[in-house]
Amino acid sequence: MMIRILFLGDIVGEAGRTAVIRFLPAFKERQKVDFVIVNGENAAAGRGITPKIAINLLRAGIAVITTGDHVWDQKELIPFLATEPRVLRPINYPAGVPGQGSLVLETSKGKIGVMNVQCRTFMQPILDNPFRAAMEEVERLRSEASVIFVDVHGETTSEKTAMGHYLDGKVSAVIGTHTHVQTADERILPGGTAFLCDVGMCGPEYSVLGREIEPIIKRFVDSLPVPFPVAQGAVMISGAVVDVEVSTGRAIAIRRIQEYVESPISSSSIF
């Protein structure tokens, strides 16, 4: 039996999250998707995620929300993480930090483990060793589920690629997030793990990583701090579809997706 997992990259602001909610129903039906994971750490005006946004994304059919270095940017999320295990923070935070970095969910096709880990190179804050933390948690998850999906949140292609090979044969998929630019290196590694260095973002296409273009240029030209508002216009949905054999946890196929959603209608009725 095969399970089909859809993973969507960093949701950027209201435009991104509204577009994702519009996009999901038809895509799930058309592509026969069984399970949806999104990275939501930029969903609140491009910084962090609030409990209200998380709840509405979960109600839209998303099973698990992963995060990264912006997980704490909306302070009201901190107590919420203690009550909602489907919103993950990176696994390699020190012991005692609110929330959890992994979970196992039951589906009609069996159990799925999901794990969120953050890299260290050029990342702040510098967390515990992601490789040691990931392997320790994967060993624990493998006692509960054969299908394990890993969101590796990091800046450099080298560290994320190394994580893919490190976990090859032990998890079903290692998919990177954080840079908002989709890479073209999707593959099935020798041990049967699907890998993609960065899945991209769900945010305004005409932008710099989802932000308005001119302020970003000004920052690079003048080196002065300026606000980086989320851009407007048509949204690019970036993600990956991974097919996994449930009995073995081995990936059968991985396919990148990029689809465009016109400028979303007012989301006041949704959020």
- Are 147 and 110 within 8 A, CB to CB? yes
Shortest CA distance to 68 belongs to which of 95, 45, 38? 38
Task: For residue 166, give the DSSP letter.
Answer: H
The 10 Å CB-count burial string (b at 16+, else e) for 234-250 is ebbbbbbbbbbbbeebb
Classify residue 229 as left (phi > 0), alpha (psi -120 to 50) or beta: beta
Both structure tokens of 183: 């890479």
Give me the residue label for tokens 């704490």.
72
| CA dist., res. 191 & res. 166, Å (int) | 10
Task: For residue 89, give the DSSP letter.
Answer: -
Shortest CA distance to 88 belongs to which of 151, 181, 17? 151
Q: Residue 102's CB: how many other CB atoms inside 10 A?
A: 24
| CA dist., res. 90 & res. 180, Å (int) | 18
Q: Which residues are catalytic?
A: 70
Q: Concatenate the DSSP letters of all residues of 217-248 into one string.
A: HHHHHH------PBP-SPEEEEEEEEEEETTT
* Number of residues that this document lists for the chain: 271
Task: For residue 168, give the DSSP letter.
Answer: B
- Are 60 and 31 within 8 A, CB to CB? no
